[in-house]
Amino acid sequence: MAVRKLGSIRFRARSAGALLLPALWLMTAGSAAALDNGLAKTPPMGWNSWNKFHCNVSEKLIRETADAMVATGMRDAGYVYLVIDDCWQVDRDAQGNIVPDPKRFPSGMKALADYVHSKGLKFGIYSDAGRMTCQKRPGSRGYEFQDARQYAAWGVDYLKYDWCHHGKQNSEASYALMRDALAKAGRPIVFSICEWGSTKPWLWAGDVGNLWRTTGDIQDCWDCKRKWGGLGWTQILDQQVGLEVYAGPGHWNDPDMLEVGNGGMTTEEYRAHFTMWCILAAPLMAGNDLRNMTDEIREILTNPEVIAVDQDPLGKQGVKVRDDGDLEVWAKQMADGSRAVALLNRSTKKQEIAVQWTEIGYPAHLKAAVRDLWKKQDLGTATGRFSAEVPGHAVVLVRIRP
Ligand code: GAL
């Protein structure tokens, strides 16, 4: 099968001077059967509580965040799913129904979902395929159909489903069970698989979930690596190489939620992180405090031309076409035949980075218009190649249109 063959190609991650299989990224997206729930035709966009707030979630935070999503222009930029991560749940009642924390969510989940919906947003929630969530709250194991019915009754539109405390469970079977439970519950619910890439979900999740995490948890740093498995965003980026063939409309690789605006990186570093997530056609789940966001961060998260790269209807994940050690070129094929090209400088000093047309599937003699998507400036036309000076730990993002 074509998918497997493509999947077995070995990629050289970050070796110096490597021109990477230039034609690969032009190939058709891979998964044989895609989950047919009609959702996530472009990568889902929204906000999730985990990266900034961890267990400190409440209906107050969610209501204020809903208000902020509207006031900051995030909703209108496309961020519609407001997702409560771990810790909203405390128990099960005598009938086995999941019980939200009565102190933190005194009005209940239905009222909260109604409020979120009244703002023109969609409501998301979190559970776990095992006995307990990662923070030791009740998981959905053995309660899949009951929980799915409950979510639908509350008005849930998105479920993130984690993988802690799963014992000897089989991942594909466990996630397929919740997929079927959601389908039976009778409400369209985006299904977000979160098993950290541990059983290679890209190989089996195309017809199980709308998105699947590919790695351990993102950290708010450029390239750190935590002993327990947390990763800076460039570490995560390296692990996306080769997964592009498995993504497409309705089923996406998920390199984890955004850290943009959480304080651990510079504005340029956040811009680079956001750019690369858009090149990857990654789900864009903001993870910062939207109630206190600087203008600079808001401008990164809401730049319409950059978001359009992520949300392009062709649904192609971008690929690394050149790797010169610290200097990388990534390209994403767009529905109109243009290319979004990111020149990424991972070193700490300013350097020139060039892209050759032949690396992005264009003939060398082709004349093309180049636009800088962050500067919002047309740079004129170029033939055969384009190059730019890129500051350290930064990116230049252009759209190249023949
Ligand atoms: C992790 C997951 C995180 C967050 C956390 C909650 O497994 O990767 O994104 O959901 O659990 O406990």
Identify whether 217 is a catalytic site residue: yes
How many CB atoms are located within 10 Å of the residue 10 CB?
6
The residue contributing the CA closest to ligand 1 atom 3 is 217
- State the Cα angle at 305 between 356 and 297, rounded to 5°: 110
At 12-71, the pLDDT tens digits run 344 445 556 545 545 554 545 788 899 999 999 999 999 999 999 999 999 999 999 999
3-state secondary structure of 236: helix
- Give DSSP secondary structure letters for 245-297: GG-BTTBEEE-----TTSSSS-HHHHHHHHHHHHHTT--EEE-S-TTS--HHH
At 157-194, the pLDDT tens digits run 999 999 999 999 999 999 999 999 999 999 999 999 99
Please name which of 367, 45, 340 lies closest in space to residue 190, comparing C-alpha atoms. Answer: 45
Domain ranges of the chain: 3-28+318-401, 45-310
Using the mean position of ligand 1's atoms as its centre, give its distance from the Cα of residue 162 in Å. 7
**Domain 3-28+318-401: which topology?**
Immunoglobulin-like (2.60.40)
Instruction: State the pLDDT at residue 1.
Output: 35
Which pair of tokens denotes residue 321? Answer: 């076409």
Instruction: State the pLDDT at residue 16.
Output: 45
Q: What is the dihedral of CA 12, 351, 297, 192, to 10 degrees?
A: -10
Instruction: State the pLDDT at residue 18.
Output: 57
Of 86, 217, 310, 312, catalytic: 217
Name the H helices within 72-161: 74-77, 108-118, 144-154
Identify whether 162 is a catalytic site residue: yes
DSSP state of 225: B
Q: Is the CB of 128 under 6 A from ligand 1?
A: no
DSSP state of 321: E
Mean pLDDT of 341-366: 98
Please name which of 282, 288, 286 lies closest in space to residue 80, comparing C-alpha atoms. Answer: 286
Report the predicted TM-score, pTM, of the whole model to 2 decimal places.
0.94
Mean pLDDT of 330-334: 98
Which pair of tokens denotes residue 247? Answer: 């993504």
**How far is 224 from 218, CA to CA, in rounded Å?**
10
Radius of gyration, alpha carbons of the chain: 21
Ligand 1 atom nearest residue 256's Cα: 9
Q: Is residue 5 over pLDDT 70?
A: no
- Read off the pLDDT band of 6 (50, 70, 90): very low
The residue contributing the CA closest to ligand 1 atom 12 is 134
Instruction: Pick from 51, 214, 217, 259 the residue to mutate for probing ligand 1's pocket: most ligand atoms within 8 Å of its CB.
Output: 217
Two domains, one topology: 3-28+318-401 and 45-310: no
Q: Output 53-59 pairs: Cβ under 8 A, ≥24 positions apart.
A: 53/289, 54/86, 54/87, 55/86, 55/87, 55/135, 56/87, 57/84, 57/85, 57/87, 57/88, 57/104, 58/104, 58/105, 59/104, 59/105, 59/106, 59/107, 59/111, 59/112
- Read off the pLDDT band of 333 (50, 70, 90): very high
3-state secondary structure of 91: strand
- Read off the pLDDT band of 302 (50, 70, 90): very high
Instruction: State the pLDDT at residue 34.
Output: 82
Q: Which residue has the tokens 């032949």?
A: 358
**How far is 288 from 305, CA to CA, in rounded Å?**
21
Instruction: State the pLDDT at residue 22.
Output: 47
Number of alpha carbons in the 13 Å side-chain half-sphere of residue 292: 5
- State the Cα angle at 21 between 17 and 23, rounded to 5°: 140
Instruction: State the pLDDT at residue 145.
Output: 98
Q: Is the CB of 85 under 6 A from ligand 1?
A: yes
Which pair of tokens denotes residue 324? Answer: 């010169």
Using the mean position of ligand 1's atoms as its centre, give its distance from the Cα of residue 179 in Å. 19
Helix axes 144-154, 171-185, angle to 10 degrees: 40
At 66-118, the pLDDT tens digits run 999 999 999 999 999 999 999 999 999 999 999 999 999 999 999 999 999 99
Let me know: does 212 contact 193? Beta carbons within 8 Å: yes
Q: Is the CB of 373 under 6 A from ligand 1?
A: no
At 244-300, the pLDDT tens digits run 999 999 999 999 999 999 999 999 999 999 999 999 999 999 999 999 999 999 999
Query: 45-310 belongs to which homologous superfamily?
Result: Aldolase class I (3.20.20.70)
